[in-house]
Amino acid sequence: MAGLRLVCSLLFCALTPVNSDFVIEGLRKIQKRSTEKPAGDIEVYSVDINSKVTSRFAHNVITSRAVNRGNVSKEVFFNVDLPKSAFISNFSMIIDGVTYTGVIKEKEVAKKQYEKAVSRGQTAGLVKASGRKTEKFTVSVNVASESKVTFELVYEEMLKRHLGKYEFFIKVQPKALVKHYQIDIEIYEPQGISFLNAEASFITNDLLPAIKKSFSGKRGHISFKPTLDQQRSCPNCTSSLMDGDFIVTYDVNRESPGNIQIVNGYFVHYFAPPKLTGVPKNVVYVIDISGSMYGRKMDQTKTALLKILNDTAEHDYFNFVLFSHRITAWRDSMVKATPENMEEAKKFVNQIQASGGTNINDPMLKAIELLNKGYEMKQVPERSASLIILLTDGEANEGESNPSKIQANVKNANNGKYTVYSLAFGHSPDYSFLEKLALENSGVARRIYEDSDADLQLQGFYNEVANPTLVDIKMQYPENAIADVTQNNFKQYFDGSELVVAGRITDNDLNSFAVDVNAEGADQSLKYSENIDLQEKDGVDKNLQYIFGDFIERLWAYITIQQLLEKRIHADPSEKANLTAKALDLSLKFNFVTPLTSMVVTKPEDKEKEEESFIADKFVEGQKDAQPPVSSARYAHYPVSSARYQYAAPSTPSNWVDSDPHFVINVPQKNDALCFNIQEEPGVVLNLIEDKELGIAVNGELTGNKKEENSVLSHETYFGRLGIVNKKNMLRIEVTTETITIMQGKITKIFTWEKKASVKKQGLNLVINKRANVTFTFGEGATFVIILHKAPKDHPLHRDFLGFYTLDDHMFSTEVHGLLGQFFHGIDYEISNIHETKVPNKPDATMKVKNKILTVTRGVQRDYRKDRYNSSEVACWFVHSNGEGLIDGTHTDYIVPDIFSIAD
Ligand SMILES: *[C@@H]1O[C@H](CO)[C@@H](O)[C@H](O)[C@H]1NC(C)=O
Ligand SMILES: *[C@@H]1O[C@H](CO)[C@@H](O)[C@H](O)[C@H]1NC(C)=O
Ligand SMILES: *[C@@H]1O[C@H](CO)[C@@H](O)[C@H](O)[C@H]1NC(C)=O
Ligand SMILES: *[C@@H]1O[C@H](CO)[C@@H](O)[C@H](O)[C@H]1NC(C)=O
Ligand SMILES: *[C@@H]1O[C@H](CO)[C@@H](O)[C@H](O)[C@H]1NC(C)=O
Ligand SMILES: *[C@@H]1O[C@H](CO)[C@@H](O)[C@H](O)[C@H]1NC(C)=O
Ligand SMILES: *[C@@H]1O[C@H](CO)[C@@H](O)[C@H](O)[C@H]1NC(C)=O
């Protein structure tokens, strides 16, 4: 069920404020950045997206060419968003006529090389998840004055049929006008193309003629070549209107349910029977109603369930098992989807309320029991497909909470009978656990992204499995003549999809190739037979090779690797090693960047003739450590005089205030940071965050050093006391270097730093890590951490103090203000005129921000989040005079009467 459409996207950026999430900018690049002149000295003069789809297998080549017309060398970026389900198979760049090609290596080997490069201060570029369906490939290279660079990325993917069509999705986002921009898609389908559509979200009437589409018989062709004028967002504009999705959909003729193709000793068999009566399905919806589902997630779940009930066929059976720490089955047996029962079910869904803990084990066993009983007592039709759909936004913390025990319990109880789909709502659930739970029970896992369309995502998933028309499908091929066949038994066939099996033919003298498909339909057993005469195979070959010759072999490798990787997830350890070895072998042999391999590109570094390596990894859903470790070198200060650029993934962006209060504002879109200090007297309370709309404020009280009167350092101040107010929940929290006090209405709870503790109540999740930090989460998208700095005991000068960091601020309204809050929705600035001063490595520069011109200085601040004793360094542009010019108003505007102050 995974990735039922091909999604690919291209964005090529140079000089415009780039989406360079994973590439830290060197000073020189910042210097040259200008939003007014997007073309700048770097001109991307050609972007070519070329896709050849042969019998569902898409081979995509993206070529971009740029020239540096400036008189100094410059950084050029190449960013491509490609489908998560695709494998990169090649990358190269040509600079000054020299080609540098990526080499695909075993991940561990590549990692060692990467670490070596990092230790030499050189380092890396990466592939990371970008959108829901895409991952981003990013490369940058320094291009000399008057030189050209060509980037070429190749990736491959099998298009999966979904609801009667194959879909090809290209995200177009060139960010600047491109002289030669072209998308060219050739399709060759041996069964013949039944329809072919191309559309783009950004298309205007003016641009319509630029899309050319034609198809006839087996061939289809789409091309899109907008002229410079067609690309302009308005006449005479220099900005591009091309920002959106280019979508191609098509299907093939279905004269016979199956189709076999054989090329160079490999076969592929596609099976999609014509419209059949649906097989009744029995669905148990196992729905998380624990406290964390409260609010939007629960509302969206209810909306989706109501819609799903509406779409349920009358011959289907269903039931709900709701779980928190308690388990509630709607009915004690499966219920037929009659209009009366539907009305009852809707009433039931409408009254669902979220609260409590999370028990996943027991509701899953309950669902299996309901289906078992359904068949035993003949409550459900004998010929039917049974599914369990689990939706959760968290991890088990009640009942059996050991993930492997839950998996084992479900696997044993289910014993292969029912298909389990697990839906992970948001990023809190343990995706690997849910994935294994599903794969062990012939289903798949999916992520439901927490967003305003989560209900549509849930319905979309349901639609894919809503209409099984065959069950227990067995596909048989000539015995003794084939080997290495991919999965050929399937539990269900869903209307509008397609089953695909590939393998190798071992008998070269085979005259004919026969396939039998046996399956159970709604009311009878069905058999489909297919036979092709291999005598004619030469003719077939020629047509198929027209596009690219070895595609069936690559298609077979692509499917095999994907299936080995899936199997690996639920294999026992001895088997796992073998599956990994096989998948790795194939990945290397066929040159695919898979979760087991990485691509290493060694590029020339400007003049210095030093090598710089970077690697591209495959994104793996739910795997947090899929990327190489973040190097602390990422933040190291780099002097202007050296043309050294650092490449590494940024750590979680955060805004914070720590030490003598140093404020740090991260600017993720620039991969850089701004910083400033506030000098005030001990006892002064400063407002850090204030959001009137949410009713949340954070204030901090300054404290000075001990023995102020005797010390030259006496003007140092720190935060000694922080107050957090949440008006809507009538909540006040005071954090000092001694205690954490929670006040809600008349109830006051006091904790010390000496004990680990956690508090979970409506709208607040608080965790105290003994003598280290306390994290606060208010609903979704507002998470802070306060770090306790302990001064050495009996230090003559220093006291304990607190640091305040935001970990997630996306919940805040546009009204949010305060010394940190005003930056939650981003800040744009421009840096120019970087020049050395008397202080080595601390150049000054001119910053244009909020229509003001400021002189700023490159500096370093410390991030104590990972380790209080051993902070990491963050390079930033320091704004002098209490942040004047950067912050709204002056710093005294942020002084408030007390730590619980909040405006009405
Ligand atoms: C490059 O061009 C700029 C502006 O045209 C000029 O100020 C600068 O001196 C030139 N630099 C070199 C190295 O030629
Ligand atoms: C990768 O691309 C380069 C440059 O086009 C080419 O020379 C090389 O043969 C390609 N490698 C593979 C494995 O296709
Ligand atoms: C575009 O530029 C031309 C020449 O500079 C000018 O004559 C014309 O009026 C401009 N059109 C618009 C819509 O600004
Ligand atoms: C269910 O279907 C009925 C009739 O088709 C429609 O009036 C109603 O709005 C639908 N409800 C939902 C939740 O889609
Ligand atoms: C996997 O196991 C099979 C049989 O146990 C063996 O023949 C094969 O060589 C192994 N493959 C790898 C790559 O280790
Ligand atoms: C909080 O402290 C714990 C325990 O020392 C540590 O593991 C964790 O990384 C800290 N979290 C933050 C965000 O500083
Ligand atoms: C701090 O981190 C560095 C690099 O990770 C390490 O070499 C050093 O030993 C650490 N120091 C302390 C005091 O933990």
pLDDT value, residue 152: 95
Is residue 235 lining ligand 3, measured as CB closer than 6 Å?
yes
CA 76–ligand 1 middle distance (angstroms): 19
Domain 281-466 in CATH 3.30.1490.20? The answer is no
pLDDT value, residue 603: 65
Q: Which residue has the higher pLDDT, 716 or 7?
A: 716
For CATH 3.40.50.410, the residue range(s) in the chain are: 281-466
Of the listed ranges 539-543, 622-626, 652-656, 888-892, the one predicted with least confidence? 622-626
> What confidence tens digit (pLDDT) does each residue in 164-184 have?
999 988 888 888 899 999 999
Which residue has the least CA distance to atom 6 on ligand 5?
A: 578
**Nearest ligand, CA of residue 232?**
3
The residue-averaged pLDDT of 478-497 equals: 94
Which residue has the least CA distance to atom 2 on ligand 3?
A: 236
The residue-averaged pLDDT of 857-873 equals: 77
Q: Which residue has the higher pLDDT, 609 or 434?
A: 434
Summary mean pLDDT of the chain: 83
CA 869–ligand 6 middle distance (angstroms): 12
CA 578–ligand 5 middle distance (angstroms): 6
Counting from 1 in the atom list of ligand 3, the atom nearest the Cα of 234 is 13
Counting from 1 in the atom list of ligand 7, the atom nearest the Cα of 867 is 14
CA 577–ligand 5 middle distance (angstroms): 9
Is residue 897 lining ligand 3, measured as CB closer than 6 Å?
no
Pairing of strands 166-172, 244-252: antiparallel
Residues with CB under 6 A from ligand 5: 578, 581-582, 585
Counting from 1 in the atom list of ligand 6, the atom nearest the Cα of 868 is 14
Pocket test for ligand 4, best of 302, 309, 310 (most atoms within 8 A of CB): 310
> What confidence tens digit (pLDDT) does each residue in 498-538 have?
999 999 999 878 888 899 999 999 999 999 998 887 766 55
Predicted TM-score of the model (pTM): 0.67
Asked if the model's pLDDT at residue 641 lies above 50, the reply is no
> What confidence tens digit (pLDDT) does each residue in 716-742 have?
788 999 999 998 888 999 999 999 998
pLDDT value, residue 295: 85
Phi, psi of 844 (to 5 degrees): -95, 165
Pocket test for ligand 3, best of 236, 237, 238, 239 (most atoms within 8 A of CB): 236
CA 466–ligand 4 middle distance (angstroms): 17
Pocket test for ligand 5, best of 578, 579, 585 (most atoms within 8 A of CB): 578
CA 863–ligand 6 middle distance (angstroms): 12
CA 459–ligand 4 middle distance (angstroms): 14
- Can you tell me the distance from the alpha carbon of 52 to that of 156, in angstroms, rounded to the nearest whole number? 10
Which residue has the least CA distance to atom 3 on ligand 5?
A: 578
Asked if the model's pLDDT at residue 234 lies above 90, the reply is no
Asked if the model's pLDDT at residue 684 lies above 60, the reply is yes
CA 870–ligand 7 middle distance (angstroms): 6
Judge contact between 813 and 821, C-beta under 8 A: no
pLDDT value, residue 7: 27
- pLDDT-based confidence at 331, cuts 50/70/90? very high
Residues with CB under 6 A from ligand 6: 769, 772-773, 785, 787, 865
CA 255–ligand 4 middle distance (angstroms): 36
Of the listed ranges 101-115, 147-161, 191-205, the one predicted with least confidence? 101-115
The residue-averaged pLDDT of 335-353 equals: 96
Judge contact between 454 and 293, C-beta under 8 A: no
Beta strands in 705-780 (DSSP E): 717-726, 731-736, 739-744, 747-752, 757-761, 764-769, 773-777
Cα dist from 109 to 104, 595, 596, 633, 638, whole Å: 10, 13, 11, 21, 28
Which residue has the least CA distance to atom 10 on ligand 2?
A: 90
Which candidate, 200, 204, 199, 210, places its Cα nearest to that of 237? 204
Which residue has the least CA distance to atom 1 on ligand 3?
A: 236
Residues 6+ apart with CB under 8 A from 802: 700, 718, 719, 720, 721, 722, 735, 736, 737, 786, 787, 788, 789
- Can you tell me the distance from the alpha carbon of 279 to that of 276, in angstroms, rounded to the nearest whole number? 9
